[in-house]
Amino acid sequence: MSERTSTPGTSSSSSASPAVGRALDMLVYLAGRPGLVQAATLARDLGIPRSSAYHILTVLADRGFVTYVPAERAYGLGVTSFEVGSAYLRHEPLERLAQPILRTLASRLGQTVHLGILHGAETVYLLKERPPAGRAGDIDIALVTDIGVRLPAHLTANGRAILAHTSEAQLRALFPRPGDLTTRTGKGPRTLPGLIGELARERERGWSQEDELVTQGFCSMGVATFDHNGRPVAAISSTWRRHHRRHDTDEMRDILRQGAARLTAAVSGHAPTTTDAAAA
């Protein structure tokens, strides 16, 4: 006789395979929480026996879907969950919604504009929109940010804009070697605590910027877009030569924010509330 569960919010299909159904219920539950969750709380809220909850969490942790933080004796989503979400976001609908927005931004700024997402601890560029002919000069020749290129997310303005709205527990999962962060030009954060401090300041101001962290002589600014839960799903960024900028910081920030807000609205999302930001 198959086991059935009547926990609110769970699918009736979980009766066919209780362990699979419970594992999916746990992932959905963790995705809807702003911070870490202890196993006992998760088991209570989902109506799962504690022994079963611990067993399933162990399996999920082994496969990277959840991460365990010993200091708080609690769980959060892991790298594999990020990768699954990122794979979904690489599908054509997001790109189709973003392309006309990026085209407008590239024309307004006279600079190359990108759409990027996180894949693990890397930025993956999905779209690259150039300004009208004659306005970009030779900047594209030197840019390494073509479609499909992956770069360390903590060095790119695009990746940092997303990471700034990512919980500290998830950052620990993304960067398992906290004292040895990658650099490309010798600049940028070298440790996870240093990165967390920089991201907190960028989250508070609402945009991210990198100065020669990816390529000498180039700077970029990025702004995140959000889903219906107020969580970052992608970012829009623009790159320029350090000594040949066309706009001041405030003007560029406002233009990118307008584009990011349009894409957030297009995916039926909303920017995080103050409470969401504090919990991130």
What is the tens place of the pLDDT at every residue in 30-40? Answer: 887 778 899 99
Span 83-279 CATH architecture:
2-Layer Sandwich (3.30)
Q: Looking at the predicted structure, is the pLDDT value of residue 11 above 50?
A: no
126 neighbors 103 (Cβ within 8 angstroms): no
Report the distance separating Cα 74 and Cα 65, nearest Å: 14
Q: Give the CA-trace dihedral at 142, 144, 146, 152, to 10 degrees.
A: -160
CATH topology of domain 12-77: Arc Repressor Mutant, subunit A (1.10.10)
Q: What is the mean pLDDT of the chain?
A: 84
Q: Looking at the predicted structure, is the pLDDT value of residue 136 above 60?
A: no
Q: Looking at the predicted structure, is the pLDDT value of residue 5 above 60?
A: no
pLDDT-derived band at 87, boundaries 50, 70, 90:
low
Q: Looking at the predicted structure, is the pLDDT value of residue 91 above 80?
A: no
Phi, psi of 36 (to 5 degrees): -75, 155
Q: Is residue 76 classed as helix, strand or coil in its secondary structure?
A: strand
229-262 pLDDT, tens digit each: 899 999 999 999 887 767 788 999 999 999 999 9
How many angstroms from the chain centroid is the CA of residue 195? Answer: 15
Q: Where are the domains of the chain?
A: 12-77, 83-279
How many angstroms from the chain centroid is the CA of residue 131? Answer: 26
Report the distance separating Cα 262 and Cα 257, nearest Å: 9
39 neighbors 54 (Cβ within 8 angstroms): yes
Where does residue 24 fall: left (phi above 0), alpha (psi -120 to 50 degrees), or beta otherwise? alpha
